[in-house]
A and B are shown apart, each in its own frame.
Chain A
Amino acid sequence: QQPVQSPQAVILREGEDAVINCSSSKALYSVHWYRQKHGEAPVFLMILLKGGEQKGHEKISASFNEKKQQSSLYLTASQLSYSGTYFCGTDLSGSARQLTFGSGTQLTVLP
């Protein structure tokens, strides 16, 4: 069963912040975040392996709440280059053999 992402789409002005959520009805063992620009391949952003873990790279960070079975991706002071579709991928089995991706959140950053 695929994780649920919200919102489905968001439009921002450059410099604004955004939060993308990923939740599952099953226990999550890890959460992966990817960004895909139109017509391109998905690109890895970060992995969160433990409940309570938080990671960040420049102005993009993420948290993983194991108990609530959810992860959130935070984009701070959005740049035009942040536009794209963000996917969370979850390991539902604990075996780490396959990721099940959410349906994606389309983020558009306007000047």
Chain B
Amino acid sequence: DTAVSQTPKYLVTQMGNDKSIKCEQNLGHDTMYWYKQDSKKFLKIMFSYNNKELIINETVPNRFSPKSPDKAHLNLHINSLELGDSAVYFCASSQALAQPQHFGDGTRLSIL
């Protein structure tokens, strides 16, 4: 059974479109995260969500918004996609803050 699953695995779309990436974890964890990894492999935290508290990295544009329908899901919505949004997006979860994080396989987003 996959612990943290993301869909889709690949997403190719045009500039200006709106897209969503889904993330689900079956580990019973309380905290979920979204990371962006660019072409230089830099892994940057975007959001963390714990007990209905959302912590946003201040450098993330407000075109990005996480939505958590329940504790096991944290989806990422992106509006008005730009070329610079091309990257691999990883979802992760942990039992609690400061605990080991389990990552999904990533979603490779390519903007044409």
The interface residues of chain B lying within 8 Å CB-to-CB of A32 are: 100-101
- CB of B98 within 8 A of CB of A47, answer yes
Chain A residues near B103 (CB, 8 Å)? Answer: 41-43
Task: Establish whether residues A40 and B98, one from each chain, have CB atoms under 8 Å apart when the complex forms.
Answer: no
B interface, CB within 8 angstroms of A: 40-45, 48, 50, 55, 57, 90, 97-106
Closest to B57 in A: A98
Most buried by A among B41, B98, B105: B98
Q: Does more than half of chain B's interface fall in helix, strand or loop, or is it mixed?
A: loop
List the B side residues contacting A34 at CB < 8 Å.
Answer: 101
**23 CB-based A-B contacts, threshold 8 Å:** A32-B100, A34-B101, A40-B105, A41-B90, A41-B105, A42-B90, A44-B100, A47-B99, A47-B100, A85-B41, A87-B43, A89-B43, A96-B97, A96-B98, A97-B97, A98-B48, A98-B57, A100-B45, A101-B43, A103-B41, A104-B41, A104-B42, A104-B43
